[in-house]
């Protein structure tokens, strides 16, 4: 699946999740998705810490190899949902960001 296809899938899921959670009001959906993004970033941080042996033994026992990648995907996917809600073209925004970095590094 390429980035464009992933964005299209996120757009479709955003429509379904909006109905499931009764988040038809943009403002509420934006807030809910921002909180969800924070949750996913926290989960990624936990997995990164665990992967480096920097968590308590109880938490380390519950971690599996590959969870860092799964949590990275969660962060990207929720960002795609939020971008769709905002009407942000994430592909274009990412492309512009990369160009900005290239110019800065030149």
In the bound complex, what is the minimum distance in angstroms from residue 59's beta carbon to Mg ion? 15
CB closer to Mg ion out of 40 and 84: 40
* 43 makes contact with Mg ion (CB under 5 A): yes
b/e 53-75 (16+ beta carbons within 10 angstroms → b): eebeeeeeeeeeeebbeebeebb
* 74 makes contact with Mg ion (CB under 5 A): yes
Q: What share of the chain is helix, strand, coil (3-state, %, to 5)?
A: 80, 0, 20
Residue 23: strand, helix, or coil: coil
In the bound complex, what is the minimum distance in angstroms from residue 76's beta carbon to Mg ion? 11
Q: Which stretch binds Mg ion (CB under 5 A): 17-25, 70-78, 80-88, 94-102?
A: 70-78
Give the residue at shortest CB distance from Mg ion: 74
In the bound complex, what is the minimum distance in angstroms from residue 71's beta carbon to Mg ion? 5
| Cβ proximity of 99 and 28 under 8 Å | no
* 91 makes contact with Mg ion (CB under 5 A): no
| Count of alpha carbons within 13 angstroms of residue 45, beta-carbon side | 6
Q: Which residues bind Mg ion (CB under 5 A)?
A: 40, 43, 74
């Amino acid at each position: 699946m390429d980035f464009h296809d992933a964005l299209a899938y996120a757009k479709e899921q955003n429509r379904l999740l909006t109905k499931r959670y009764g988040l038809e009001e943009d403002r509420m959906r934006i807030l809910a998705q921002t909180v969800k993004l924070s949750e996913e970033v926290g989960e990624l941080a936990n997995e990164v810490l665990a992967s480096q042996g920097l968590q308590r033994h109880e938490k380390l026992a519950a971690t599996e190899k590959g969870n860092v990648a799964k949590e990275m995907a969660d962060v990207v996917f929720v960002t795609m949902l939020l971008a769709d809600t905002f009407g942000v073209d994430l592909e274009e925004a990412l492309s512009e960001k990369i160009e900005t970095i290239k110019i800065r590094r030149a």
